[in-house]
């Protein structure tokens, strides 16, 4: 059984391994012991908060565990509100028109303007599934269960949610967009800049990043070609989010120019289509064909989610005793479900 649960301190080694495997450009999962330990501690505090009146600096981090082997298959997270304690930077794509009626010249030029427009919104982040588990809709489950968490604990999050998509970089960590910035404004390579940002050392951004709008036609051809484009490994994650209702509105990452997508939480497909059903526990459950569903309990500290096959349009969640124990559910409880 692949079970999604809140991260705990004993998961550190597995989280560190995920950070190594995630590679360059995965800003929210740097290979840094202190940062990863802080993320685990922050998650512990977030899940321990009984009440939250408005979303703040809570950071919810989950792992997907193979209960048969104890192996951590992947990791996934949600930030309640970004940019409250430190600036949250993006480039906003815009247009400037240069027009001379006398000379009959009209040029609409694209610009990149540094901004903090997403301050205070929630963020889906840190999604990484290890290679051996990339099958059987496990990646879809590890991403989409977060929509059910948003639906169940909506008071803990903003009305809007974003997701930053990894931009284009090669196997050595070279980013065409950053190469242009490095040549003109910085003296550090992309992996180092990405690492510093990942560990929270972002002062250099405000000190060195160009503050005035940049005309994109002044970028190198290689840099222009990757603005708003995603890393090949990130395409499936972007496609999934788009199916949920996320859209690109012209905001890109300041390091690799990868797109940031946004959505109103109440309009996410999994939020709108998820529903609460009563739980019934049986000694055994008749096996039969069903529709894959994401199933989660409604608890915070003991949150659990998994993928189960249920009859289409099921009005009740029937679990075996073993499944119920793993999910921290009893007969008469409610569970939130959505079809995959």
Active-site positions? 231
HSE-CB at 336 with a 13 A cutoff on CA atoms is 23
Q: Cα–Cα distance between 214 and 328 in angstroms, integer?
A: 53
Q: Cα–Cα distance between 126 and 130 in angstroms, integer?
A: 13
Phi-psi region of 308 (alpha: psi -120 to 50; beta: other; left: phi over 0): beta
Three-point CA angle 326, 327, 332, nearest 5°: 125
At 307, list the tokens. Answer: 């993928």
Taking the CB of residue 67, how many other CB atoms lie within 10 A of it? 13
At 211, list the tokens. Answer: 């503050």
Q: Cα–Cα distance between 127 and 69 in angstroms, integer?
A: 21
SS3 state of residue 72: strand
């Amino acid at each position: 059984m692949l079970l999604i649960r809140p991260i705990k301190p004993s998961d550190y080694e597995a989280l560190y391994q995920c950070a190594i495997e995630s590679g360059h450009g995965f800003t929210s999962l740097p290979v840094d012991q202190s940062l990863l330990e802080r993320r685990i501690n922050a998650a512990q505090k977030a899940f321990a908060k009984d009440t939250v009146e408005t979303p703040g600096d809570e950071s919810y981090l989950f792992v997907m565990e193979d209960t048969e082997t104890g192996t951590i298959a992947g990791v996934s997270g949600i930030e309640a509100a970004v940019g409250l304690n430190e600036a949250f930077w993006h480039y906003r794509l815009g247009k400037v028109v240069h027009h001379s009626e006398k000379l009959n010249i009209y040029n609409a030029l694209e610009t990149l303007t540094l901004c903090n427009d997403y301050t205070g919104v929630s963020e889906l982040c840190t999604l990484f599934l290890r290679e051996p588990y990339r099958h059987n809709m496990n990646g879809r489950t590890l991403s989409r269960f977060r929509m059910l968490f948003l639906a169940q604990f909506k008071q803990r999050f903003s009305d809007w949610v974003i997701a930053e998509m990894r931009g284009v970089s090669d196997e050595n960590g070279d980013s065409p967009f950053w190469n242009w910035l490095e040549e003109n404004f910085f003296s550090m390579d992309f992996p180092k800049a990405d690492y510093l940002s990942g560990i929270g050392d972002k002062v250099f951004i405000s000190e060195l990043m160009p503050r005035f709008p940049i005309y994109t036609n002044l970028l190198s051809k290689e840099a222009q070609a990757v603005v708003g484009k995603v890393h090949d490994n990130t395409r499936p994650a972007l496609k999934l989010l788009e199916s949920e209702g996320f859209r690109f509105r012209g905001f890109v990452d300041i390091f690799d120019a990868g797109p940031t997508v946004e959505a109103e939480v109440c309009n996410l497909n999994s939020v709108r289509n998820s529903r609460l059903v009563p739980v019934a526990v049986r000694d055994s459950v008749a096996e039969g064909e069903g529709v894959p569903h994401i199933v989660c309990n409604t608890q915070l500290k003991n949150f659990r989610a998994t993928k189960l096959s249920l009859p289409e349009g099921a009005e009740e969640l029937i679990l075996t005793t073993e499944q119920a124990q793993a999910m921290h559910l009893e007969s008469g409880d409610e569970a939130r479900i959505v079809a995959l």
